[in-house]
């Protein structure tokens, strides 16, 4: 596959550089945020080699590339020239909900590789703990450092990413995150007592591994920096803008947005835990049944990632992530059911490939290439994902990090509930395949 050619064709099909606001990628999708969606030639993109499907999420054009995503993005990133007016364009004529979803998704997406890498290592650590390894060895301690760093310094990573998303100086944004995990600030928090800044009382909070304070505070940095640029003389902007931004933003973050966001995060955590402990069956049915369709709409990262990371940083494990995995297994299993039912040789080949890679944890090929054309297998996906989601909460199945949401992320599920996770993955996969086969579907006709 010629990735440079594919990138050139994508650039042409989305309306050229003039129509691009930003580009980014996740594990399987190249995401191009555009100014005018009517200029995007969707049909032309779908015809390109390696493209498994497309999806629009507001003004973000998502190109599903599967395992070819990273190489395609790298080639596209070399030829895309984004203007400096991203922030102003992005906020035009959008609802508050769209702005929030776009902001949260765009902030978390670039940080995912760090979280996945650290999560896999934490999964290995969980396995070592389960086997009773010597935790005093230097090897274990270094592994523990590697696994914890991605989450401990999360405020800095998120701040930098949010800065790029909001088109503010990302290093100035990272400064805000760095202050929140500064050793001296943590020492002040540990010491307790009455603390103030400029005479205003400060609520003592440990922001290490936190996510909500940064997400809430970065828009403030955007507006203050913008104001500082407006009032500063051109000759002094390089000095005054960062100084004004820091001196205005940091007291507000420490006094208002940081503590407020922490309180919000705490209540959300209590709410999720309450659902887990008091409504496990109903909660699992609801979460499990709906999870696969979040992936279909491209909203899974904005909706799921904050919950997952909050669980990991608060408890050291997440019970939400395994439920997502059972949804992925159900999607892959439905594709297997299509393999045995369809008479269309091309669809059978696509479904066979999709069910294999879906079991690993990459479900877009199955969703867009198999289930959308056949439609009825989504019933099987919803049923098995919901059932296994409920059972997952009943047995309190845990993951100890983030990784591929399937067999590709195996290490993060190592622990006391690993066997239960394996059983439920098999039940979801083969159960979805069986239901798809029994229900049948309107087959896709062979191409002429």
Same domain, 247 and 290: no
Determine the Cα–Cα distance for residues 304 and 300; give it in Å rounded to an integer. Answer: 5
The residue range of the domain holding 197 is 153-262
Same domain for 249 and 331, yes or no, is: no
**Residue 83 region, left (φ>0) first, then alpha (ψ -120 to 50), else beta?**
beta
Q: How far apart are the first and last CA of the chain?
A: 25
Instruction: Decide if 223 is inside a domain.
Output: yes
C-alpha–C-alpha distance, residues 16 and 128, integer Å? 51
Claim: this prediction has a pTM higher than 0.85: no
Same domain, 323 and 392: yes
Question: What's the average model confidence in pLDDT over 230-253?
Answer: 93
Residue at 317 is within a domain? yes
Cite the DSSP H helix spans in 206-344.
Answer: 212-231, 237-252, 258-278, 280-297, 300-315, 320-341
Whether 211 and 298 share a structural domain? no
Shared domain for 375 and 346, answered yes or no, is yes
Residue 32: name the closest of 5, 9, 59, 53 by CA: 59
Answer whether residue 142 is part of any domain. no
> Do 203 and 305 belong together in one domain?
no
Domain count, the chain: 3
Q: Is residue 314 part of a domain?
A: yes
For the segment 165-187, what is each residue's pLDDT rounded down to a tens digit? 888 999 999 999 999 999 999 99
Residue 86 pLDDT > 70:
no
- Mean pLDDT score across all residues of the chain: 86
Rounded to whole angstroms, what are the CA distances from 281 to 128, 269, 277, 289, 380? 31, 18, 10, 12, 19
Decide if 138 is inside a domain: no
pLDDT at position 298: 60
Say how far apart CA 448 and CA 446 lie, in whole Å: 6
Q: Once rounded to an integer, what is the mean pLDDT over residues 416-427? A: 94
Domain final residue pick, 92, 111, 132: 92
361: number of Cβ within 10 Å: 21
């Amino acid at each position: 596959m010629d990735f440079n050619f594919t990138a050139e064709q994508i650039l042409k099909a989305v309306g050229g550089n003039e129509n691009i606001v930003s580009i980014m990628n996740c594990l399987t999708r190249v995401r191009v945020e555009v100014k005018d969606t009517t200029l995007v030639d969707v049909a032309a993109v779908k015809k390109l080699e390696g493209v498994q499907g497309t999806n629009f999420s507001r003004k973000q054009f998502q190109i599903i590339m599967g395992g070819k995503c990273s190489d395609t993005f790298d080639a596209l990133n070399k030829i895309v020239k984004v203007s400096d007016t991203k922030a102003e364009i992005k906020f035009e004529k959008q609802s508050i909900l769209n702005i929030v979803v776009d902001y949260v998704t765009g902030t978390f997406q670039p940080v995912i590789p760090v979280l996945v890498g650290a999560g896999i290592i934490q999964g290995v650590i969980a396995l070592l703990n389960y086997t009773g390894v010597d935790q005093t060895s230097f090897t274990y301690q270094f592994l523990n450092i590697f696994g914890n760093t991605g989450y401990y310094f999360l405020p800095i990573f998120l701040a930098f990413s949010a800065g790029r998303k909001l088109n503010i100086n990302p290093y100035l944004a990272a400064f805000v995150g760095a202050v929140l995990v500064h050793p001296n600030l943590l020492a002040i928090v540990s010491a307790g007592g009455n603390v103030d800044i400029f005479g205003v009382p400060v609520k003592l909070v440990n922001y290490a591994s936190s996510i909500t304070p940064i997400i809430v505070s970065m828009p403030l940095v955007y507006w203050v920096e913008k104001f500082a640029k407006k009032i500063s003389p051109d000759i002094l902007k390089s000095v005054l803008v960062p100084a004004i931004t820091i001196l205005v933003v940091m007291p507000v973050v420490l006094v208002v947005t940081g503590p407020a966001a922490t309180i919000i995060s705490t209540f959300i955590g209590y709410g999720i835990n309450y659902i887990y402990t008091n409504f496990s069956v109903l909660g699992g049915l609801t979460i499990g049944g709906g999870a696969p369709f979040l992936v279909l709409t491209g909203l899974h990262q904005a909706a799921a990632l904050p919950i997952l990371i909050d669980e990991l940083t608060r408890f050291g494990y997440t019970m939400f992530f395994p439920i997502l995995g059972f949804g992925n297994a159900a999607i892959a299993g439905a594709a297997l059911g299509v393999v045995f039912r369809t008479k269309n040789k091309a669809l059978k080949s696509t479904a066979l490939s999709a069910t294999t890679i879906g079991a690993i944890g990459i479900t877009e090929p199955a969703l867009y290439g198999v289930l959308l054309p056949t439609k009825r297998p989504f019933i099987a996906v919803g049923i098995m994902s919901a059932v296994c989601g409920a059972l997952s909460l009943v047995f309190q199945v845990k993951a100890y990090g983030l990784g591929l949401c399937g067999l590709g992320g195996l290490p993060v599920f190592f622990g006391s509930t690993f066997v239960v996770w394996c059983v439920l993955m098999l039940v979801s996969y083969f159960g979805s395949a069986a239901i798809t086969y029994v229900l049948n579907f309107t087959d896709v006709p062979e191409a002429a």
